[in-house]
Structure 1
Amino acid sequence: MQEIQKTIDGILPTKTSKTIVFDIETQKGFHEINNITQMGVAVAVSCDCITGEYKYYTEDNIQELIEELFNADTVIGYNIISFDYPVLKGYTNRDFSTIKTIDM
């Protein structure tokens, strides 16, 4: 069972949960393409908040990032629900709404 710590804002993951922070940069911008799922990943980075390990991804190994996100207890990022997850949907049919996400 995941240990949780209550805060004024809600619930934060504890040091025993696998928490991943990530961000992606795309190959194309909104002005170039009408479909966010076709923007393509240029580069992505993730950080495991427990180990401090950083990992870097390109299209060649983007499936590894997707697996890491689905295996995490919590995923944290900026605007990831409206941007990063839809970009990643171009590489998978998996349902990102099942990931416990803190979107800042």
Structure 2
Amino acid sequence: MRHESWSFVPKEEKQELIDRVRADFILDWTKDNHREMVVTHLSEKYNAYHYELHQVYLKYASHEEALRGGTPVVPKLVWELLCERWASRTFKVYCESHAREIE
């Protein structure tokens, strides 16, 4: 969860997650649609989980309160890393530009 989005997850880590899915489900890996479905679903879930964590962060009254409060679903160090990212100017600019694109 330490990566900004699925796009930034290194290939080795993505492959590890794909291998876990392949171990748990019967898939025909020779079919493009099976491979694409797995990668697409992992990407969507990864990014959706980051969104959910950001919503938890936004419920706190301040950045400092969020750092202190945390959430039981991720380790404290990961939460602190995410909080720093969400408080960064770069992330705020990204959110503003994304909001304008949606409008």
What's the TM-score bracket when you normalise by the shorter of the two chains?
Answer: under 0.3
TM-score by length of 2: 0.23
Higher helix share: 2
Greater CA radius of gyration, 1 or 2?
2
Higher strand share: 1
